[in-house]
Amino acid sequence: MDQGTAPPATGGKQLPPLQSTGFGARLMRRKPVERLVAEGGQGEGGSLRRSLGMWQLTMISIGATLGTGIFVVLGNAVPQAGPAVVISFILAGITALFSALSYAELAGTIPVSGSSYSYAYATLGEIIAWVCGWCLILEYGVSVAAVAVGWGQYLNELLEGTIGVTIPDWMANPPGVDGGVFNLPALLVVLLCMAFLLGGAKESARANTIMVGVKIVALLLFCAVAFTGIRAGNYAPFMPLGLGGVSAAGATLFFSYIGFDAASTAGEEAKNPKKDLPKAIMLSLLIVTALYVLVAAIAVGALPWGEFKDSEAALAGIMKDVTGQSFWAVLLAAGAVIAIASVVLTVLYGQTRILFAMSRDGLVPKAFAKVSPKGVPVANTVIVSLFCGVLAAAVPLAQLADATSIGTLFAFGLVNIAVIVLRFTRPDMHRSFQVPLSGVRIPLGRTGVPVGLIFPVLGFAMCVYMMLSLDVVTWEVFGGWMLVGLVIYFAYGMRSSRLAADGAAGAALETEPAAAGAKAATKAEVKAKAGAKAGAGAKAEAKTTAKAGAKAGATTAKKAAVPAQRAAKAGKPAASGGTSAAKAAGKSRPKPRKKARGKRK
């Protein structure tokens, strides 16, 4: 099944050492699910704290999602699809739904901070996990910048309507748009969210919940006011740029759905992740999709689709045109300022937790896994915030949104594949949530194939379809991003991977006993040879001693017989002499034989 490595950091049972001898095996080494879960929350010098409930997790997902597509990207998507942008939202929502089902299943099975990066590591191998993690950096990190870009225009609306002062265009607009040079408000909102995150996950979640409530009220208020300005003629022609335009807009708007998986990045800070994460993911997606479709349908009915071009504050403009008063526009602008700040906060949170997981695995520097006594990855948060803030201030919105969409689609496609792989490699693993119809099986093979796997298959297919709808420039940017990522992996990540280090340690542990055994065998062989040589010497010595004893006995007997012969010649009895000779002969012969036998033994 999975390839093991070292024991969990919790001091659990020893896992089998990783065996990765070839280059391909090192690329495809996998991190066991049990180890991923066992290491949950642990960082360098501290650990994350489990403080988030189901409602807070849902608000994190809504906070990361709601507002991105409506408050900011709507102005770029409507010129692509016209009034049919409503269908684009539905298309993007269905694509997100299939992937959300896969996310929910994996989040309940592998409740860790790495999101789809960790899921890929457990099922598809290290190189695929790295590519997925690199896409998540593009997805989360760049989307923070993309959302922050539109914050400046809504802030200007708010400032103008309240105190009559606006930020100069050169520092309030994206570079290259209406004289924009450096988007200072975008940098400021990222730094503001950084300050919240440094206060701790629980405190950040509380602030996010309040901001989510404000932006939901603001969107419902927009719907109520803008509904009075709907003109039926604004819906015709409904699909002016055809199905291709709808698909292209859907691919762009898919960017606005990335937040639903933000809850999965909080897997190591959730109180009951196996139950709460799947619920939070599905509930947040349903709420967000319903609001997106409702707001988009009213917006294109109240304003001709051709007037949406290059407007990052489209909703505030609609409110002003419909009512003829600045009050409602100011009120909506205030809601948008809070809404966008909420998106930046939660997406920035997700990015730091993904890098935390990658750092713990050794694929990025250890600084990203260092945790303060308050349970906050401080260095990680500061580095990511500064990077995203500068990116938001210096790069135009449209390029950021498309680059984020393709990274998101790629990561979601891998999650759908991971569900299928894990179903076949670990079919008996407990899953707190499964995609629908998983209990119904097609009779194929030994156990059959779950009908529910059609959802991950469709999710993967739709991700590929929407990726192909993006323009060539976006693919070129994506290709360049992937190339840079692979260079970093082969130069740093592959060698610094904890699985690689644990595999080398396991190989060393296996080599040492083998070497010791060979040395002991050599010593035993030498002793055996010495013993055999000593035995041969003892045998030769015993044989020589026996011969010497026999010869001595014969000589003694011969000497003892001489007096008897003389006595016989003289006519004297030789009994005593014969007896003495016999005794002497008898005594002399056995003694050397006994001695020789003893030596042989």
Listed residue (407, 344, 404, 479) closest to 64, CA to CA: 344
Mapping DSSP to helix (H, G, I), strand (E, B) and coil, where does residue 432 land?
coil
Listed residue (378, 258, 291, 268) closest to 71, CA to CA: 291
Average pLDDT in the chain: 77
Q: Are 379 and 370 a contacting pair, CB within 8 Å?
A: yes
> How does pLDDT run across 298-331, given as a tens digit for each residue?
999 988 888 876 555 677 778 877 887 778 778 8
Helix (H) or strand (E) holding 38: helix 33-38
Mapping DSSP to helix (H, G, I), strand (E, B) and coil, where does residue 66 land?
coil
The Cα-based distances of 276 to 36, 387, 516, 527 in angstroms read 18, 32, 52, 68
- Report the amino acid identity of residue 469: S
Q: Who has greater pLDDT, 446 or 123?
A: 123
Q: What is the DSSP letter of 182?
A: -
Phi, psi dihedral angles at 449 (to 5 degrees)? -110, 125
> How does pLDDT run across 327-360, given as a tens digit for each residue?
877 887 788 788 888 888 988 888 898 999 899 8
**Residues in CB range of 194: below 8 A, 6 or more apart:** 348, 381, 382, 385, 389
According to the model, what pLDDT value does residue 535 have? 53
Distance of CA 100 to the CA centre of its chain: 17
Q: What is the DSSP letter of 229?
A: G
- Dihedral, 305, 64, 113, 388 alpha carbons, nearest 10: 80
CA angle 510–513–514, rounded 5-degree value = 85
According to the model, what pLDDT value does residue 233 have? 87
What global pTM score does this model have? 0.72
Confidence of residue 585 (pLDDT cuts 50, 70, 90): very low
According to the model, what pLDDT value does residue 385 have? 92
Check pLDDT > 70 for residue 571.
Answer: no
For every residue of 249-302, DSSP letters joined together read HHHHHGGGGGGGGGGGGGTTTBSSHHHHHHHHHHHHHHHHHHHHHHHHHHHHHH
Q: Who has greater pLDDT, 501 or 58?
A: 58
According to the model, what pLDDT value does residue 313 have? 60
| Other Cβ atoms within 10 Å of 287 Cβ, number | 18
Confidence of residue 426 (pLDDT cuts 50, 70, 90): confident
> How does pLDDT run across 179-219, given as a tens digit for each residue?
778 888 888 999 999 999 998 888 888 888 999 998 898 88
According to the model, what pLDDT value does residue 522 have? 46
Region of residue 64 (left: phi > 0; alpha: psi -120 to 50; beta: else) = alpha
- Of 232-236, 309-313, 500-504, the range with the lowest mean pLDDT is 309-313
According to the model, what pLDDT value does residue 531 have? 53
The Cα-based distances of 11 to 8, 43, 45, 74, 373 in angstroms read 6, 15, 16, 51, 21
- Of 83-92, 279-288, 356-365, 493-502, the range with the lowest mean pLDDT is 493-502
Across residues 74-89, what is the average pLDDT?
87
Distance of CA 341 to the CA centre of its chain: 27
Helix (H) or strand (E) holding 409: helix 397-425
